[in-house]
Amino acid sequence: MFNLKYSKLKITVAVLAVFGSSIASADVTRALAIPSGTPSADEIIDQVFFVNHFYAFDNYGIGKKGKKITVLINKSAGKKPTTITLERYLNNNYADDPSIKARDLAIFRSGKLRGTGMLITDFDEVGKNQSYAIWIPALRKIRRFAEPAHDDAWGGTDFTFGDVSLRKPHNETHELMGTENFKGCLGAVALKDNEKNKYTRKLPEAACQHDGKSVYKVKSTTKFDNWWYDERISYVDAKTFADYRTDYYKDGKHIKVIDRNWVPADNASDPRQVVWGYWYGKTLATDHETWAVIPKEVTITNDTKKKQSLWTEKTLRKIRR
């Protein structure tokens, strides 16, 4: 029984990590300026980190509006997909706190982990690990976990903790391979009518609006020994620094792809103020796919009505199953 509960908690940490992915300790800060002229590979990757961690916003939220809510889909080839819905709220506004860089709150609203929540805290001290506090509804208690390993796969998805959170710019060496136009549409999971449920009946089409946009092509080579990939190639918007696609390679073989549909935020004053439309991942050896779909209607940025008290363990204890 203990092993079963422990396994479930690990999955909880893993799944929530993707939606808590915008906080991670690094030398990149909210003060990072847009480079002038043609940026170097290192400057581009720093900007990608800035965008992925929503540093252009004081806060970023994906909540619920009517029946619209964020849905996470996992699909193995030939099998029925699984779905989870959740809300997520990030706070980057800790300029007056000498120790906290950001806090991220995520709450499951459906699926096996319904009523589970997590609060991730990121610290200003470079190199200090994040803290993970998880509300376990069956126990009505909070459990704490150490930061996971970069190469741990999370929650049966096609992402690792490194993909969604922990990888820092200095964990790789970077090479600018040139500038080109992005080609084609981003990936998306295709569901048959009998595979859909109330959360997946009105999924978006594959995102094609980035076709033809000018992107930087950057090769990043891992510094870790005996790693699951040797290098990855990212296609980064030349204006917003949003990374639309990342292809992973091992021993010269294409092994995985992650696509991200970035869309402009409302009332954006900085080109880097873009938000998630969806994330898509596919492991090529197994054809397993993951799709996290975030409706634009549930996204809100720089919400002045959100109080700092939202990002505390008190909120976790108030979650209803």
Residue 195 · residue 80 · CB < 8 Å: yes
Question: What's residue 42's pLDDT?
Answer: 97
Question: What's residue 152's pLDDT?
Answer: 67
Question: What's residue 4's pLDDT?
Answer: 39
pTM for the whole structure? 0.90
Question: What's residue 181's pLDDT?
Answer: 98
Question: What's residue 3's pLDDT?
Answer: 43
Question: What's residue 221's pLDDT?
Answer: 98
Q: What is the CATH number of the domain that holds 197?
A: 2.50.20.10
Question: What's residue 163's pLDDT?
Answer: 76
Residue 275: domain span: 2-317
Question: What's residue 155's pLDDT?
Answer: 58
Number of domains in the chain: 1
- Using 50 as the pLDDT threshold, list the residues of the chain that sit under it: 1-6, 21, 24-26
Question: With left for phi above 0 and alpha for psi between -120 and 50, is residue 226 left, alpha or beta?
Answer: left
Question: What's residue 6's pLDDT?
Answer: 45
